[in-house]
Amino acid sequence: MESYNAETFRTHGLEMNFVQDNLSFSRAGVLRGLHFQKPPYEQGKLVKVIVGEALDVAVDVRKGSPTFGQHFKVVLSGEKQNMLYLPPGFAHGFLAIKDTYLFYKCTQVYNGAYDSGIIFNDAELNIDWESDEPIMSEKDKNLQSFAAYKSSIGM
Protein backbone atom coordinates (compact mmCIF):
# COMPACT_ATOMS: atom_id res chain seq x y z
CA MET A 1 0.00 0.00 0.00
CA GLU A 2 1.23 3.47 -0.83
CA SER A 3 0.39 5.70 2.10
CA TYR A 4 1.81 8.98 0.78
CA ASN A 5 2.89 10.28 -2.61
CA ALA A 6 4.14 13.88 -2.90
CA GLU A 7 3.33 14.06 -6.63
CA THR A 8 -0.30 13.03 -6.06
CA PHE A 9 -0.66 15.77 -3.45
CA ARG A 10 0.99 18.32 -5.77
CA THR A 11 -1.53 17.55 -8.54
CA HIS A 12 -4.25 18.55 -6.06
CA GLY A 13 -2.54 21.82 -5.14
CA LEU A 14 -1.10 20.51 -1.88
CA GLU A 15 2.61 21.05 -1.82
CA MET A 16 4.20 20.62 1.57
CA ASN A 17 7.41 19.44 3.15
CA PHE A 18 6.94 16.91 5.94
CA VAL A 19 9.69 17.04 8.57
CA GLN A 20 8.41 14.86 11.41
CA ASP A 21 6.31 11.69 11.78
CA ASN A 22 4.42 10.79 14.97
CA LEU A 23 2.57 7.70 16.14
CA SER A 24 0.26 7.70 19.13
CA PHE A 25 -1.75 4.95 20.78
CA SER A 26 -5.06 5.62 22.52
CA ARG A 27 -7.45 3.18 24.15
CA ALA A 28 -11.12 3.28 23.18
CA GLY A 29 -12.82 6.27 24.83
CA VAL A 30 -9.72 8.47 25.03
CA LEU A 31 -10.11 12.00 23.71
CA ARG A 32 -7.02 14.05 22.81
CA GLY A 33 -7.06 17.72 21.87
CA LEU A 34 -7.77 20.19 20.59
CA HIS A 35 -4.03 20.86 20.04
CA PHE A 36 -2.08 23.24 17.83
CA GLN A 37 1.20 25.15 17.77
CA LYS A 38 1.30 28.94 17.75
CA PRO A 39 3.15 30.93 15.06
CA PRO A 40 5.78 30.63 13.78
CA TYR A 41 5.63 26.88 14.54
CA GLU A 42 2.21 26.02 13.11
CA GLN A 43 2.05 22.44 11.86
CA GLY A 44 0.29 21.05 8.84
CA LYS A 45 -0.67 17.45 9.59
CA LEU A 46 -1.55 14.45 7.46
CA VAL A 47 -3.47 12.21 9.86
CA LYS A 48 -4.23 8.53 9.40
CA VAL A 49 -5.42 5.70 11.62
CA ILE A 50 -3.21 2.65 11.13
CA VAL A 51 -5.24 0.32 13.37
CA GLY A 52 -8.55 1.08 15.05
CA GLU A 53 -11.04 3.88 14.52
CA ALA A 54 -11.18 7.53 15.61
CA LEU A 55 -13.48 10.51 15.28
CA ASP A 56 -11.03 13.14 14.01
CA VAL A 57 -11.78 16.86 14.42
CA ALA A 58 -10.14 19.94 12.91
CA VAL A 59 -10.94 23.53 13.95
CA ASP A 60 -9.80 26.54 11.91
CA VAL A 61 -7.93 28.88 14.29
CA ARG A 62 -6.41 31.12 11.60
CA LYS A 63 -7.14 34.77 12.39
CA GLY A 64 -8.83 36.36 9.37
CA SER A 65 -9.84 33.08 7.77
CA PRO A 66 -13.41 32.97 6.36
CA THR A 67 -13.88 29.65 8.18
CA PHE A 68 -12.35 30.82 11.49
CA GLY A 69 -13.91 28.93 14.42
CA GLN A 70 -15.61 26.35 12.21
CA HIS A 71 -14.88 22.67 12.59
CA PHE A 72 -14.82 19.58 10.41
CA LYS A 73 -14.99 16.01 11.62
CA VAL A 74 -14.56 12.62 10.00
CA VAL A 75 -14.19 9.03 11.15
CA LEU A 76 -10.77 7.68 10.23
CA SER A 77 -10.26 3.94 10.35
CA GLY A 78 -7.56 1.39 9.81
CA GLU A 79 -10.02 -0.64 7.78
CA LYS A 80 -10.77 2.19 5.33
CA GLN A 81 -7.19 3.56 5.37
CA ASN A 82 -8.60 7.06 4.80
CA MET A 83 -6.72 10.16 5.92
CA LEU A 84 -7.19 13.85 6.56
CA TYR A 85 -4.87 16.76 5.80
CA LEU A 86 -5.02 19.72 8.21
CA PRO A 87 -3.21 22.84 6.95
CA PRO A 88 -1.10 24.90 9.37
CA GLY A 89 -3.38 26.95 11.62
CA PHE A 90 -5.86 24.23 12.53
CA ALA A 91 -6.44 22.81 16.00
CA HIS A 92 -6.63 19.01 15.99
CA GLY A 93 -8.29 16.50 18.25
CA PHE A 94 -9.64 12.99 18.13
CA LEU A 95 -11.74 10.52 20.07
CA ALA A 96 -10.60 6.89 19.89
CA ILE A 97 -13.71 4.87 19.06
CA LYS A 98 -11.68 1.65 19.28
CA ASP A 99 -8.13 1.08 20.53
CA THR A 100 -6.30 3.20 17.96
CA TYR A 101 -2.87 3.79 16.52
CA LEU A 102 -2.94 7.24 14.93
CA PHE A 103 -0.09 8.22 12.61
CA TYR A 104 0.55 11.76 11.45
CA LYS A 105 3.10 13.50 9.30
CA CYS A 106 3.92 17.11 10.26
CA THR A 107 5.20 20.05 8.24
CA GLN A 108 6.92 21.58 11.29
CA VAL A 109 8.82 20.02 14.19
CA TYR A 110 7.21 20.00 17.62
CA ASN A 111 8.16 22.96 19.80
CA GLY A 112 6.82 22.76 23.35
CA ALA A 113 7.19 26.50 23.93
CA TYR A 114 4.61 27.11 21.16
CA ASP A 115 2.24 24.29 22.12
CA SER A 116 -1.33 25.40 22.73
CA GLY A 117 -4.89 24.15 22.67
CA ILE A 118 -8.58 24.77 23.12
CA ILE A 119 -10.86 22.80 25.44
CA PHE A 120 -12.72 20.05 23.59
CA ASN A 121 -16.19 20.95 24.89
CA ASP A 122 -16.09 24.70 24.28
CA ALA A 123 -19.70 25.90 23.96
CA GLU A 124 -18.91 28.37 21.16
CA LEU A 125 -17.30 25.67 18.99
CA ASN A 126 -20.23 23.31 19.71
CA ILE A 127 -18.49 20.09 18.60
CA ASP A 128 -20.52 16.89 19.01
CA TRP A 129 -17.89 14.38 20.07
CA GLU A 130 -20.49 11.60 20.26
CA SER A 131 -19.26 10.68 23.74
CA ASP A 132 -20.64 11.72 27.12
CA GLU A 133 -17.65 10.82 29.30
CA PRO A 134 -14.37 10.73 27.36
CA ILE A 135 -11.14 9.70 29.08
CA MET A 136 -8.75 12.67 29.06
CA SER A 137 -5.35 13.75 30.33
CA GLU A 138 -5.17 16.53 32.91
CA LYS A 139 -3.51 18.72 30.28
CA ASP A 140 -6.45 18.31 27.89
CA LYS A 141 -9.03 18.86 30.64
CA ASN A 142 -7.46 22.25 31.38
CA LEU A 143 -7.01 23.77 27.93
CA GLN A 144 -8.20 27.33 27.31
CA SER A 145 -11.62 28.36 26.03
CA PHE A 146 -12.08 29.54 22.45
CA ALA A 147 -12.90 33.02 23.84
CA ALA A 148 -9.53 33.08 25.68
CA TYR A 149 -7.76 32.00 22.50
CA LYS A 150 -9.48 34.77 20.49
CA SER A 151 -8.48 37.33 23.12
CA SER A 152 -4.85 36.12 22.94
CA ILE A 153 -4.75 36.88 19.18
CA GLY A 154 -6.45 40.28 19.49
CA MET A 155 -9.99 39.37 18.57
Question: Within 10 A of 11 (CB to CB), how many other CB atoms are there?
Answer: 10
What span, in angstroms and rounded, lies between the C-alpha atoms of 44 and 46? 7
Phi/psi of residue 7, each to 5°? -65, -40
Which entry of 35, 85, 92, 149 is annotated as an active-site residue?
35
Q: Which of 85, 92, 104, 149 is catalytic?
A: 104
Minimal CA–CA distance to 73: which of 21, 126, 30? 126
Distance separating alpha carbons of residues 7 and 118, to the nearest angstrom = 34
What secondary structure letter does DSSP report for 143? P
Query: Could you confirm whether 104 is annotated as catalytic?
Result: yes
Which DSSP letter does residue 68 get?
Answer: T
Active site residues: 35, 104
